[in-house]
């Protein structure tokens, strides 16, 4: 028997571009960002409490930390204290902020924060993929135009990543202990032809408990 899930808005407040939904199990709270809206938002479903923290520049991704919420902003990495609202700068962006910014990110099982970038002119694959380990930023030199869809396999041996502009989802062999990427392969390349079979471009992604990769299809209105 098949099961159909109903998708409905989590909040009534409109967003310009809601991204990077992240569930905080201890707080029973959902966090996410509005990139062009320059804000981090949260929702506590049990009490229907909605909160918002304005950012100085566009937030592309967030991660949970003991100290608060790590925010990957256009201008660099910062730590948000959700109680006081204080935003503490941690590092400046390693790129030209006039044409690049941090985009989708995710934490691996060893606690590393992985975050891709987006090359806003979209004229070439000028973006890349970074990891942050104990405050040290490393460029893994993996070109893309719009880095998106970061996710990890249940056995932590594979990293998934999409390039929205090229309509492609990639899979990398992964050494979790050392934080190193191995061979890259194409997991799925979606058609760019705008006809009746067009299902959109791969954007955000995640992996379920059985190891299947799910991605939200921009312009396709589907998962």
Q: Which residues are catalytic?
A: 203
Q: How far apart are CA 163 and CA 128, in angstroms?
A: 10
Residues 206 and 104: beta-carbon distance below 8 Å: no
Q: How far apart are CA 155 and CA 176, in angstroms?
A: 10
Q: How far apart are CA 209 and CA 8, in angstroms?
A: 23
Q: How far apart are CA 38 and CA 82, in angstroms?
A: 16
DSSP string, 69-120: EEEEETTEEEEE-TTT--EEEEEE-SS-TTTEEEEEEEE-TTSPEEEEEEET
Do the bridges between strand 136-139 and strand 113-119 make them parallel or antiparallel, or are there none, so unpaired?
unpaired
Q: How does DSSP classify residue 139?
A: E
Candidates 136, 193, 137, 130; CA nearest to 161 is 130
SS3 56: coil
Give phi and psi for 132, each to the nearest 5.
-125, 120
- Looking only at Cα atoms, what is the longest distance across the chain? 52
């Amino acid at each position: 028997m098949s099961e159909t899930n109903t998708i409905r808005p989590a909040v009534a407040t409109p967003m310009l571009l809601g991204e990077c939904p992240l569930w905080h199990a201890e707080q029973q709270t959902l966090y996410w960002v509005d990139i062009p809206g320059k804000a981090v938002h949260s929702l506590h479903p049990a009490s229907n409490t909605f909160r918002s923290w304005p950012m100085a520049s566009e937030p592309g991704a967030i991660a949970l930390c003991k100290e608060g919420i790590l925010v990957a902003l256009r201008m660099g990495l910062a730590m948000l204290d959700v109680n006081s609202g204080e935003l503490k700068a941690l590092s400046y962006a390693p790129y030209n902020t006039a044409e690049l910014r941090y985009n989708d990110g995710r934490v691996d099982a060893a606690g590393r924060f992985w975050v891709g970038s987006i090359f806003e002119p979209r004229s070439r694959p000028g973006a890349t993929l970074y990891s942050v380990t104990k405050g040290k930023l490393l460029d893994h030199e993996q070109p893309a135009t719009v880095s998106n869809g970061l996710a990890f396999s249940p056995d932590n041996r594979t990293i998934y990543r999409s390039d929205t502009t090229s309509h492609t989802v990639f899979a990398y062999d992964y050494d979790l202990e050392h934080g190193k990427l191995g061979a890259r392969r194409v997991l799925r390349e979606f058609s760019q032809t705008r006809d009746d079979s067009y299902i959109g471009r791969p954007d955000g992604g995640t992996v379920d408990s059985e190891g299947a990769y799910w991605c939200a299809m921009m312009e396709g209105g589907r998962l």
